[in-house]
Amino acid sequence: MKKILAVLVSLTMAASLAACGAPASSSSGVSSGAPEATPSGSTPVAELSGKVATNGSTSMEKVIGALAEAFMQQNGGVDVTYDPTGSGAGITAAEEGTTDIGLSSRALKDTETGLTSTVVALDGIAVIVNKSNTVKDLTVEQIAKLANGEFSNWKDVGGKDAPVVMIGREAGSGTRDGFETITGVKDNAKYGQELTATGAVIAAVEANENAIGYASLSSVKDTVAAIMVEGVAPSEAAVLDGTYKIQRPFLMVTKEGEKLRPEVQAFIDFARNKDNAEIITNAGAVPVVK
């Protein structure tokens, strides 16, 4: 009987030790073969990689720069590049397939076919003068007459007796096309200087007390004065509500019907996402989001 009890006790102790040892064996680092659980709330997604080439409008530099920086922070495997060649060149590059996204600061023309344009922002075109100029407010008609030479002296619009020097962008510039189209001086503007960059126009107006020019609202600095247009100062709010009359779209242009690479489509979607609207606002433009 004692022997039977001893055997039973031994068996019971062995079973207990085996049970206590189970957790210890599971912490040894040996996989059970079952898949690891996905953390709650997370969804596995394919990681983006590659390069997104953008090419075009110099006026979109701040907007594209800010969007690209934020996008690359979220997608470390993607490199977004920007080549400031002007709207016309950017549209051509998109058409010819030499860039992923063409950038334009004007609407596409009827002759520019086979393309898809996505509006990502609106931009006011500021009419700028030298800070010493006493003229503060002009109508669109007055601006047009200053641009086409019909008004050749500042006294024609209530300013001092001095010649008007019109400074603008080169042919093919989206800013120039936008300004001339809105004011109705297409192909009739008479320029004292035609410059190839927005910054150069601003610098030229700053340097000449008789100058008048135009520039993207987001690029204007306090080195020049922005004219009110029919009583409305150029501002993001006035552009969005339509009260400021000299404004234009900022477009991302791609080939119509062409399936975009995932990283390219993702960048366009990023620019249009309402969660990223503040990025565009901080860059000085008015976001158009979905």
Pairing between β-strand 101-104 and β-strand 137-138 as defined by DSSP bridges: unpaired
- Two structure tokens written together for 285: 């433009």
**pLDDT for the residue 230:** 97
**pLDDT for the residue 46:** 66
What's the pLDDT tens digit per position in 144-178? 999 999 999 999 999 999 999 999 999 988 899 88
User: Which residues have C-beta within 8 Å of that of residue 113, sequence separation ≥ 6?
Assistant: none
* Residue-range domain boundaries for the chain: 50-123+248-287, 124-247
**C-beta atoms surrounding 138 within 10 Å:** 22
- The interaxial angle of helices 174-183 and 87-96, nearest 10 deg, is 120
Mean per-residue pLDDT for 74-86? 96
Q: DSSP 3-state assignment of 118?
A: strand
Lowest mean pLDDT across 10-14, 242-246, 279-283 = 10-14
On the question of pLDDT at 183 being above 70, the answer is yes
On the question of pLDDT at 22 being above 80, the answer is no
Torsional sign, CA 204, 283, 109, 253: positive
Q: Where are the beta strands (DSSP E) in the chain?
A: 50-56, 78-83, 101-104, 115-129, 137-138, 165-169, 193-195, 211-216, 225-226, 228-229, 247-255, 286-287
**pLDDT for the residue 208:** 98
**pLDDT for the residue 57:** 94
DSSP state of 268: H
Please determine whether the domains at 50-123+248-287 and 124-247 fall in the same fold group of CATH: yes
- Two structure tokens written together for 83: 């080549």
What's the pLDDT tens digit per position in 237-273? 899 888 999 999 999 999 999 999 999 999 999 999 9
**pLDDT for the residue 29:** 33
Lowest mean pLDDT across 42-46, 71-75, 105-109 = 42-46
Whole-number Å distance between alpha carbons of 173 and 250: 13
DSSP state of 46: P
Mean per-residue pLDDT for 181-193? 94
Instruction: Give φ, ψ of 36 to 5 degrees.
Output: -70, 145
Q: Based on C-alpha coordinates, what's the Rg of the chain? A: 31
Mean per-residue pLDDT for 17-28? 40
CATH topology of domain 124-247: D-Maltodextrin-Binding Protein; domain 2 (3.40.190)
Q: DSSP 3-state assignment of 119?
A: strand
Contacts 24+ apart (CB under 8 A), 27-33: none
As a whole number, the mean pLDDT across the chain is 86
Mean per-residue pLDDT for 204-226? 95
DSSP state of 232: B
- Two structure tokens written together for 103: 């950038």
Q: Is the pTM of this model over 0.75?
A: no
Q: CA distances (Å), 60 to each of 45, 90, 129, 170, 288, in order?
A: 31, 11, 22, 16, 14
Tokens 């030499």 correspond to 98
Q: How does DSSP assign 134-188, residue by residue?
A: ---EE-HHHHHHHHHTSS-BGGGGTS-S-B-EEEEEPTT-HHHHHHHHHHT-TTT
What's the pLDDT tens digit per position in 92-134? 999 999 999 999 999 999 999 999 999 999 989 999 999 999 9
**pLDDT for the residue 155:** 98
Pairing between β-strand 101-104 and β-strand 78-83 as defined by DSSP bridges: unpaired
**pLDDT for the residue 149:** 97
CATH for 50-123+248-287, options being 2.40.50.140, 3.20.20.370, 3.40.190.10, 2.102.10.10 = 3.40.190.10
Closest to 252 measured CA to CA, from 125, 120, 124: 120
